[in-house]
Amino acid sequence: MYTTQELAELADFYKNQLLNDTVPFWFPRSFDEEFGGYLLMRDADGSLIDTDKAVWIQGRACWLLATLYNTVEQKEEWLKGAQLGYAFLKEKCFNAEGKMYFHVDRAGNPIRMRRYFFSETFAVIAFAAYAKASGDEEAAELARKIFGTCMQYADGSLKMDPKFEDTRPSKGIGIPMIMINTAQQLRESIGDPRCDVAIANWIKEIESNFVKDDIRCVMEQVAPDGSIIDHIDGRTLNPGHAIEGAWFILHEARYRNNDPAMIDLGCRMLDYMWERGWDKEHGGILYYRDVYDKPVQEYWQDMKFWWPQNEAIIACLLAFLMTNEKKYAEMHKQIHDYAYAYFHDKENGEWFGYLHRDGRIAQTAKGNLFKGPFHLPRQEWYCSQIIQQFLADKSINS
């Protein structure tokens, strides 16, 4: 169990890491005053390894800066930084048909389009947070418009290019999960009347189709009827991803006056995937597992990535705060201690992204096409904020 004093210290720890270790690694040096957006592909010491821009990460960085401005301190540097990302995303990252690229060069010339709409979901949260920070009405309208497009992709009325033929249809947990969080961010920054109902439906979709109580598991993909597809891809689990989904649902439970069914669902998802993902030998959350313990296609399945640890830190903390169950405080302490011992770069700040199973560093980049200022600062920001809110509620109620 964490005492009130210990929780207050944890909140201070996360806030201090966020503001004095993580954010200063990235900003202001990553602001691209010349071309707009951010230069985020950096080695351990902060040196630039590539000037290209990953559109997911441009959106996430813009969201972070605007969110810090909205919720931590109205620093001019953060607002101006958010403006750089907003303008770059809006002006450079859409093709003629309005679909967003995945990867552009420093000046915003397109390098790669992918079929997915995750660039769009990160633009929604970035534009919404920036609209709140700046009062820019166009940004708010664009956030709502792109969210509408995402909803159409999510319900299938807008089609993505298919990756697979029709022989064995499947659906992933990724789309309802990302949509829950996108809608939550949109709702909590600038508000949108579509969000409450849509979130409830996506949570129902996850509970009905992906959560398997009989085998204590959250599937990463299933057949359209929710059944398990007993082939390599269909059997592959992503525990960190499911645990991220668990805290999105716990967050929603809190928004809905601590809805007990949602708390129960979020905690079940966390329990199941902690059982499958926690590495009892070396600590940390493993990347992939097979639902029946067969070999996973991805040969690097036993590596430790930074972001599953971030998601598990949030999920365990939130589960503890909402249930007061001792086991979640213990799990939180385990993952927190592991992650800050192995991932945190005490010399240069921020975290390494990629460790071998035993904790040795596999690759030193702090930023690349997939890693940037997002999961770690989001975790530190969210955890410090949520503890402060719980402590404030407690002092009002006591």
Give contact residues for its own copies (rule: CB under 8 A).
41, 43, 49-52, 101, 104-105, 109-113, 163-165, 167-168, 231-232, 294-297, 299-303, 305, 353-354, 356-357, 362-365, 368-369
Q: How far is the CB of 186 from its own copies (least distance, A)?
A: 29
At 50, which helix (H) or strand (E)? strand 48-50
Q: Residues 98, 149, 51, CA angle at the centre, nearest 5°?
A: 50
User: What are the C-alpha distances in Å from 74 to residues 22, 77, 124, 130?
Assistant: 18, 9, 21, 12
Packed helices 118-134 and 174-189: angle between N→C axes, nearest 10 degrees? 10
Per DSSP, what are the bridge partners of residue 50?
A: 41
CA dist 296 and 317 (Å) reads 30
**Whether the Cβ atoms of residue 81 and residue 28 lie closer than 8 Å to each other:** yes
Greatest alpha-carbon pair distance for the chain in Å reads: 59
Tokens of 40: 């985020």
Packed helices 118-134 and 55-71: angle between N→C axes, nearest 10 degrees? 30
- Of 172, 173, 128, the residue nearest 146 (C-alpha): 128
Nearer to its own copies by Cβ, of 29 and 112: the residue is 112
Q: How far is the CB of 362 from its own copies (least distance, A)?
A: 6
User: Contacts by 359-366 with C-beta closer than 8 Å and gap 24+?
Assistant: 359/282, 359/283, 359/284, 359/304, 362/303, 364/43, 364/44, 365/41, 365/42, 365/43, 365/44, 365/49, 366/25, 366/42, 366/43, 366/44, 366/46
Q: How far is the CB of 180 from its own copies (least distance, A)?
A: 27
- List the alpha helices (DSSP H) in 190-305: 195-209, 232-235, 239-255, 260-277
Q: How far is the CB of 41 from its own copies (least distance, A)?
A: 7
Residue entry with tokens 């199941």: 272
Nearer to its own copies by Cβ, of 45 and 337: the residue is 45
Nearer to its own copies by Cβ, of 141 and 230: the residue is 230
Nearer to its own copies by Cβ, of 72 and 111: the residue is 111
CA dist 351 and 306 (Å) reads 7
Per DSSP, what are the bridge partners of residue 171?
A: 222
Tokens of 197: 């109902």
Q: How far is the CB of 354 from its own copies (least distance, A)?
A: 4
CA dist 85 and 62 (Å) reads 5
Nearer to its own copies by Cβ, of 39 and 321: the residue is 39
Tokens of 182: 């996108």
